[in-house]
Amino acid sequence: MHINFKYYNQNQTVLFPYSFEELIPDNHPVRIVNDILERINIAPLLKAYSKEGNPSYHPVMMLKVMVFAYMNNIYSSRKIEKALRENINFMWLSNMSIVDHNTVNRFRAHKLEAAFKDIFSQVVLLLAEEGLVSLRQVFVDGTKIEAQANRYTFVWANAIKTNKEKMLRQLEELWKYAQSVAREEDKDPEPPEFKEISKEKIRQTVESINAKLKGSDGKTDADKKAKAKLNYIKNNFEKNLGKYEVQEAVLAERNSYSKTDEDATFMRMKDDHMMNGQLKPAYNAQISTENQFIVNYTIHQETNDFNTLEHHLENFKKLYGEKRWAKLEELTADAGYGSEQNYELLEQNQITPFVKYNTFDKEQDAHYQAKHKTFSKGNLHYNKEEDFYVCPMGQKMEKTHESTRKTKTGYPQRLSHYQAKNCDGCPIRGVCHSSKENRSIERNHHLEDYKEKIRELLKSEEGIKKRKQRSVEVEPVFAHLKHCNNFKRFTLKGLKKVELEFGLHALAHNLRKKVA
């Protein structure tokens, strides 16, 4: 039986060699990447290159290759080198230039770092020209991404504090023992204050203890233990304190860091498929989106979101300039950003804040309201003209004093304190409050005024629309990055390099969405 097959001969010669232009469709994503990146100004990128030495690969070609690699979930420099040798799309972009993985790594780690945010903003502005984004309204959210660091080599601020306190106790105990064995006339009239440890205090205290212990015969077990402890303190305490001082300098305001990436902070990650919520070295990535395009991104070492907003908005201003910043009209975010400082920041910049405060969702719960309505301090009647509250039994709660406290960022909050005059014998005292004294409350009136405005705004027709829209704006972007693109852990180390890596993912996401 004869079977017909199409002609096949690997050794067949052709009159004209095949062209990549014929092999790559007109609407292929690689052509979109090529067209967009050809339109940007690369002057900031050129500053990273030296006029001396051997000629470098063209930065535009390297940028195209890098961005297209991230669009195709290729992050390893060795895999990028392999694609340049085997993939016709990469071969077309590079014009058949075979770039080794070390050159790819150097471009990403050193050449691209300083200029990348400028490149990112230029691409977003091109999207704005096409009407895909307006940069007038943004949706903000954050996610924690694991760092490229060992999960089990860590430094904790609380552990340093505990160890320093332990060192002080040991010094004080040894001092007291030395006092007890010294002759009466040798005792110091004023013992050193054991409140704060320092190298000078360790040195002075050790010398004093050593002088007192010389007078003992050294024959008792207690004497031997004391001298052994003194030798340990002499050999280790100053060295350990020096190590703690270096670690505290690295920590700054943080509570922890990883020894294998000192910029990474240990953060509580969400439960995995085995329901294992763990503390892991990570970074807090913040993004602003519009129509699911990422228009702004920043990387933070703080574990919570509300301390990140000011820096995040400053970055928006740097990316797009004062004119674009002045046109930013609305910001939508969840309760993680609802703080007095953030509300004031948005008000000062004339940005409408569709930003929940921490109890907004509970207030919408009828069961919660029924349970807490009567005795909650938020539901006590307040007489604004005469500045007093009324308790559930109708007793006047007058202002006793005002106080100021500062947040972690240094923002001052002004608090007013009120107290009832007599709760003795009140029939509802047990359910009203648990204090042994008369009931007292503190209120931040500035924050309460913001909450009232926010409550009205979020319950409006526009506010309801924004709340619904938020869940389909930012969260799907993180889902694409983490699950579709398998970006669950950084591959680079250090805050600046991590920010660059996230930026490459953000730019690749935008171009991928434009193509789609």
pLDDT tens-place string over residues 28-50: 999 999 999 999 999 999 988 87
Question: Is pLDDT of 507 > 90?
Answer: yes
Predicted TM-score of the model (pTM): 0.88
- The CA distance from 172 to 191, in Å, is 9
Question: Is pLDDT of 217 > 70?
Answer: no
To the nearest whole number, what is the mean pLDDT of the chain? Answer: 88
Averaged pLDDT, 389-412: 89
Tell me whether residue 282 is exposed, middle or buried, using C-beta atoms within 10 angstroms of its C-beta: 0 to 12, 13 to 18, 19 or more. Answer: buried
Averaged pLDDT, 212-227: 66
pLDDT tens digits along 445-479: 999 999 999 999 999 999 999 999 998 999 999 99
Cβ neighbours of residue 174 closer than 8 Å, sequence gap 6 or more = 209, 226, 229, 230, 233
Q: Read off the tokens for 111.
A: 């050449």
Question: Is pLDDT of 169 > 90?
Answer: no
Averaged pLDDT, 394-401: 90
- pLDDT tier for residue 370 given thresholds of 50, 70 and 90: low
Cβ neighbours of residue 100 closer than 8 Å, sequence gap 6 or more = 81
Q: Write out the DSSP string of 76-94.
A: -HHHHHHHHHH-HHHHHHH
* CA angle (330 as vertex; 498, 476 as ends), nearest 5: 50
Q: 477 near 287, Cβ under 8 Å? A: yes
Question: Is pLDDT of 481 > 80?
Answer: yes
- The CA distance from 269 to 276, in Å, is 9
- pLDDT tier for residue 184 given thresholds of 50, 70 and 90: very low
Bridge partners, 381 (sequence order): 390
- pLDDT tier for residue 88 given thresholds of 50, 70 and 90: very high
Q: Which runs of consecutive H residues, i.e. helices, occur in 182-256?
A: 199-213, 221-251
